[in-house]
Amino acid sequence: MHLPVPSSLKALVIAAGLCGALLAQPAAQAAETSIWQDVQKAGVLRCGAAVAAPYVMRDAKTGDYSGYFVDLCRDFGEKVLKVKVAFVDTNWDNLVAGLQSSKWDLAMALNQTPERALAVGFSVPATDYQVSLLVNKDNPKLAEVKDDVAALDKPEVTFAVMSGTAQDKAISSVIRSGKIMRLPGMDEARLAVMSKRADVLVDASDTNHLFALANPGWTREILPKPALAKQGVSFGVRRDISPADLQVLNIYLSQRRETGDIQRLVDKASLEANAEVSSNE
């Protein structure tokens, strides 16, 4: 048997529910971490720096950092957050763990992967990583080829790639008629194309871009369509970052990318990396 509930009791239950909901809102809001407010209170933005040219570079003599992610991190801290910027030396094995334990506020130049997304958050990509192709622009076999991999897939075309790499896996998945020359290192693969034993150099787009800038007289870069093994290269952030804080960083990166500013920083960093290699030879 069900007894009727007095209307006064119903009102009390409803009021208690509303009160609980109102009390829960501040608690939920408090759970969101305002990372940029914490950074501004501290007066410094800490950027985790694992070296990989042209993203992040470090002068062995002075300890100074350069590279286009370094430029972006410094600009974001100084111009947007209005704080000093400190670069914290680390390595690729510890870059994600240091972000999780708040040793730094941003991790620079992280490729977006599902595995990493289980541990950290990502900004929108500053640039894209993908497998690119580099050819001799005077090679008559490739004169009419623009960005179509299928147009390169001919028995007379040889692709040079470092054996066992992600680039090897990517090009092997799309080439059926062409020859794939698998070599033990990237120096050997580059030399094969320079000596014309191979027609196409297969490598990551950033390192192929470095090589092209160092050899402007004969190289031509090709970004295949559809893209091969494409991933965004982003800032890593803590997973508890608030949506509002993440939006600040995303708007900053989107605007700089759309205006071409980031590509100019990439070219500058690539030239610096090549100059460093030349001075060490």
Matching CATH number, 130-229, of 3.90.226.10, 3.40.190.10, 3.10.180.10, 3.40.50.1700: 3.40.190.10
Longest alpha-carbon distance in the chain: 94
35-120+238-280 carries CATH number 3.40.190.10: yes
pTM over 0.75: no
The residues with which 133 forms a beta bridge, in sequence order, are: 202, 222
Can you give the pLDDT at residue 255? 98
Residues of the chain with pLDDT > 90: what percent? 68
> Which are the contacts of 271, defined by CB distance < 8 A and separation ≥ 6?
213
Q: pLDDT tier at 277 (50, 70, 90 boundaries)?
A: low
Domain residue spans of the chain: 35-120+238-280, 130-229
- Of 129, 124, 130, the C-alpha closest to 256 is 124
Q: What is the average per-residue pLDDT within 267-280?
A: 76
Alpha helix (H) residue ranges in the chain: 7-31, 35-42, 68-75, 95-100, 114-117, 149-152, 166-172, 186-194, 205-214, 243-258, 261-280
The predicted-structure confidence for 22-59, as pLDDT tens digits, reads as follows 454 444 444 556 999 999 999 999 999 999 888 999 99
The predicted-structure confidence for 87-138, as pLDDT tens digits, reads as follows 999 998 899 999 999 999 999 999 898 989 999 999 999 998 899 999 999 9
The predicted-structure confidence for 131-173, as pLDDT tens digits, reads as follows 999 999 999 999 888 888 999 999 999 999 999 888 999 999 9
| Equal CATH topology for 35-120+238-280 and 130-229 | yes
Q: pLDDT tier at 2 (50, 70, 90 boundaries)?
A: very low
Can you give the pLDDT at residue 152? 92
Can you give the pLDDT at residue 18? 45
Annotate 260-279 with DSSP letters as a single string: THHHHHHHHHHHHHHHHHHH
The predicted-structure confidence for 203-225, as pLDDT tens digits, reads as follows 989 889 889 988 999 999 999 98
Q: pLDDT tier at 281 (50, 70, 90 boundaries)?
A: low
